[in-house]
Amino acid sequence: MKKLLSLITCIILSLPSWAQLSESDLNKLAATVRSNYELRQIEGASLYKTSSGYQVLVTITSTSAAKSVDEQNRDAQMKATRLASEFLSGAVNSTVSVFSSQTTNNSSKEELSDKIVQSSLAQVKNLQPLFKTQGNDGEIVYAYYLVISQTAAKNGVAGVLSIIPGVGQFYKGSTGKGIMFLSLAAASAAGIIVCESTRASYANKAIEQPKYKKEYSTDADNWATGRNICIGVGGAIWLWNIIDAFTTKSARRKVVTSQNSSLSIQPYAAPDFMGQGMDLGVGLTFNF
């Protein structure tokens, strides 16, 4: 049993944590970050939370418009990476302001774990462009983002996983509850097996030994009653486990280890080399 629990825990905790912000999340985030910058006119790094539960580190920096586009991009990327690293280095196990991606200038306080900070520091090279706009005094303002963590569990996923009692709770980080539901379900299943096996044994004895048929039949009925009770208790535990997985708040936040992994397949059409027709094909793109 201990080995089974350990195996299930390892599987749940090792589920992939690829992070891809939806187009809606990105649009809301870009609009809020732009509004906050216009209000404060401050460059630097800030932490935002999206409506879908992602924590996103956003850096804003500027560079001279007199430089070439390649120089602007390179300069902005280097500055953004430095700002993100400095912000994360100073946020180890400390409380930081977290802005909502839906409301301008509205923030709360949260603590970043050392695990999230260290994982994010290793990912700062994966900063993604959020927007680019014209700033003051002939400068170009760049905004970049990095998804650093995500709320560990979604209720729908937890509910589906809880088809196996306790797994939904493990997924949400409630290890104690997961062990409890898994143990109760296992005990109920064991009770059903023992009661049914014993009932069948007495039923066979009632047939094989007619002299004691009445006594054996009574024993068989008693064990059948015990089996039915175990089935009822097991069903109640299973239902309770599913409801709990759907409704209980997540107990942990997971670290994002891979940014914007995606696979896309798109058809394309372009003039052929001789200019006498069209080349048709399919484009395959994998971002990692």
Considering only the C-alpha atoms of the chain, give the largest distance between any 2 of them, rounded to a whole number of Å. 107
Residue with tokens 């493990």: 170
CA distance from start to end of the chain: 38
Share of the chain above pLDDT 90, in %: 36
Encode 142-186 in three state secondary structure: EEEEEEEEEECCCHHHHHHHCCCCCHHHHHCCCHHHHHHHHHHHH
Residues 74-82, mean pLDDT to the nearest whole number: 93
Query: pLDDT band at residue 274, thresholds of 50, 70 and 90?
Result: very low
Alpha helix stretches (DSSP H) within 2-68: 2-13, 23-40
- What was the pLDDT predicted at 76? 92
Residue 44 confidence (pLDDT) above 60:
yes
Query: What's the residue count for the chain?
Result: 288
Identify the pLDDT of residue 51: 78
Per the rule left: phi > 0, alpha: psi between -120 and 50, beta: everything else, 60 is beta
pLDDT for res 116: 84
Q: String of b and e for 46-84 (b: at least 16 CB within 10 Å)? A: bbbbbeeebbbbbbbbbbeeeeeeeebbebbbebbbebb
- Average pLDDT for 154-174: 81
State the DSSP H helix or E strand holding residue 283, giving kind and residue range, or none if neither: strand 278-287
Q: Is the pTM of this model over 0.75?
A: no
What pLDDT does residue 140 have? 92
The tens digit of pLDDT for each residue in 176-231 reads 888 999 999 999 999 999 999 999 999 999 999 988 889 999 999 999 999 999 99
What mean pLDDT is predicted for residues 151-177? 79
DSSP state for residue 53 in the 8-state scheme: S
Contact between residue 211 and residue 162 where contact means Cβ atoms under 8 Å apart: no
**Residue 87 CB coordination number (10 Å):** 22
Three-state DSSP class for 230? helix
Query: 286 versus 179: which is more confidently predicted?
Result: 179
pLDDT number for residue 174: 77
pLDDT tens-digit series, residues 220-233 = 999 999 999 999 99
Locate 100 and state its tokens: 């909502």
Compare 135 and 233 and report the one with higher pLDDT.
233
What is the pLDDT at residue 61?
93
Mean per-residue pLDDT, 37-63: 87
Locate 219 and state its tokens: 């024993």
Q: What is the pLDDT of residue 16?
A: 42
d(C-alpha 184, C-alpha 188), whole Å: 6
Q: Please check the confidence at residue 279 and state whether its pLDDT lies above 60.
A: no
CB 150 within 8 A of CB 54: yes
Q: 147 φ, ψ to 5°?
A: -75, 120
Q: Which comes out higher in pLDDT, residue 42 or 181?
A: 181
